Amino acid sequence: MRGQAPPDTQQAENWGVLKKLLPYLTEYKGRVLLALLFLVGAKVATTGMPFLIKGMVDQLSGTADPSQWLLAPVALVFAYGALRFANVLFGEIRDVLFGRVTERAMRRIAHQVFVHLHRLELNYHLNRKTGGVARDIERGVAGISFLLRFMVFSILPALIEILLVVAILLFQYGWTFGLTTLLAILTYIVFSVKVTNWRKAFLRAANTADSASSSRAIDSLLNYETVKYYTNESFEAARYDQNLKTLEAAKRKNRLSLFVLNGGQALIISMSMTAMMLLAVLGVQNGNMTVGDFVLVNAFMMQLFIPLGSLGFVYREIKTSMINIEQLFNILAIEPQIQDQADAQELIITSGHIEFEQVAFHYRADRPIIQGLDFQVKAGQTLAVVGASGSGKSTLVKLLFRFYDPTGGRILIDGQDIQSVTQDSLRQAIGIVPQDTVLFNDSILENIRYGRPEADDQAVHRAITMAYLDEFIALLPDGVHTEVGERGLKLSGGEKQRVAIARTILKQPPIMVFDEATSSLDSQAEFMILKAMAEIAQHSTNLVIAHRLSTVVHADVILVLDQGQIIEQGSHEQLLANQGAYAALWEAQQQDREH
Strand 408-413, strand 382-387: pairing: unpaired
CB contact set of 93 (below 8 Å; sequence gap of 6+): 35, 38
Angstrom distance (rounded) from CA 216 to CA 135: 12
Cβ 532 vs Cβ 501: under 8 Å: yes
Domain residue limits, the chain:
9-333, 345-429+509-595, 438-506
For residue 344, the Cα-to-chain-centroid distance in whole angstroms is: 28
Q: Which residues, 6 or more positions from 243, have their beta carbon under 8 angstroms from its beta carbon?
A: 209, 212, 213, 216
3-state secondary structure of 586: helix
pLDDT classification of 5: cutoffs 50, 70, 90? very low
pLDDT digit string, tens, across residues 349-358: 999 999 999 9
411, 399 Cβ separation under 8 angstroms: yes
Laid out side by side, the sheet with 382-387 consists of 430-433, 511-515, 541-546, 382-387, 557-562, 565-570
* Number of DSSP helices (H) and strands (E) in the chain, helices first: 19, 10
pLDDT at 522 over 70: no
At residue 325, φ and ψ (nearest 5 deg) are: -65, -40
pLDDT of residue 388: 80
The pLDDT of residue 529 is 67
Compute the distance between CA of residue 346 and CA of residue 580 in angstroms, rounded to an integer.
42
Task: Enter the DSSP assignment of 438.
Answer: -
Is residue 432 within 8 Å of 503, Cβ to Cβ? no
Q: How far apart are alpha carbons 10 and 27 in whole angstroms?
A: 31
Strand partners of residue 2: 335
Rounded to whole angstroms, the Cα distance separating 296 from 306 reads 15
Q: What is the pLDDT of residues 212-225, one digit of tens each?
A: 888 888 888 888 87
Q: Which residue did the predictor score with more confidence, 60 or 335?
A: 335
> Which CATH homologous superfamily contains domain 438-506?
P-loop containing nucleotide triphosphate hydrolases (3.40.50.300)
Length reported for the chain: 595
- Separation of CA 179 from chain center: 48
Residue 471 has pLDDT above 70, yes or no: yes
**What is the pairing mode between strands 430-433 and 511-515?**
parallel
Looking at 3.30.70.1450, 3.40.50.300, 3.40.50.2000, 3.40.190.10, the CATH number of the domain 345-429+509-595 comes to 3.40.50.300
SS3 3: coil
538-574: b (≥16 Cβ within 10 Å) or e: eebbbbbbbbbbebbeebebbbbbeebebebbbebee
pLDDT at 435 over 70: yes
pLDDT tier at 99 (50, 70, 90 boundaries)? confident
Task: Please give the pLDDT value at position 3.
Answer: 42
The identity of residue 385, as a single letter, is: V
- CA-CA distance, 105 to 28, in Å (whole number)? 10
Q: Region 283-294: what's the mean pLDDT?
A: 82
Cα separation, 246 vs 256, whole angstroms? 16
**Per-residue pLDDT tens digits for 222-246:** 888 788 877 888 888 888 888 888 8
What pLDDT band is residue 317 in, cutting at 50, 70 and 90?
A: confident
Q: Which residue has the higher pLDDT, 427 or 484?
A: 427
Q: Report which of 367, 394, 411 is spatially closest to residue 544, judged by C-alpha positions.
A: 394
Is the pLDDT at 6 greater than 70? The verdict is: no
Question: 345-429+509-595 with 438-506: one CATH topology?
Answer: yes
CA distance 94 to 488: 48
Which amino acid, residue 261? Answer: L
3-class SS of residue 374: strand
If 0-12 CB within 10 Å is exposed, 13-18 middle and 19+ buried, where does residue 213 land? buried
Please write the tens of the pLDDT for every residue from 171-205.
888 888 888 888 888 888 888 878 877 877 787 78
Please state the separation of Cα 456 from the chain's center in Å. 31
- Burial class, 234, CB count within 10 angstroms (exposed 0-12 / middle 13-18 / buried 19+): exposed
356 close to 409: Cβ distance less than 8 angstroms: yes
Look at residue 311 in the predicted model and tell me its pLDDT. 64
Angle at 96 (CA atoms; ends 94, 101), nearest 5 degrees: 95
**What pLDDT is stored for residue 411 in this prediction?**
94
Residues 170, 143: contact at Cβ < 8 Å?
no
In sequence order, what are the residues at sequence separation of 6 or more whose Cβ sits closer than 8 angstroms to the Cβ of residue 81?
Answer: none
pLDDT of residue 12: 43
- State pLDDT tens for residues 106-124: 888 888 888 888 888 777 7
pLDDT for 14 beyond 70: no
Buried-exposed string 10-48: b where 16+ CB fall within 10 A, e elsewhere: eebebeebeeebeebbeebeebbeebbebbebbbbbbbb
- Predicted confidence at residue 201, as pLDDT, reads 78
Average pLDDT value for residue range 577-594: 82
- Whether residue 10 is predicted with pLDDT greater than 50 in this model: the reply is no
Contact 399, 359 (CB under 8 A): yes
Residue 425 has pLDDT above 90, yes or no: yes
Are 247 and 209 spatial neighbours (Cβ–Cβ below 8 Å)? yes
Architecture (CATH level 2) of domain 9-333:
Up-down Bundle (1.20)
pTM given for the model: 0.66
Rounded Cα gap, residues 293 and 280, in angstroms: 8
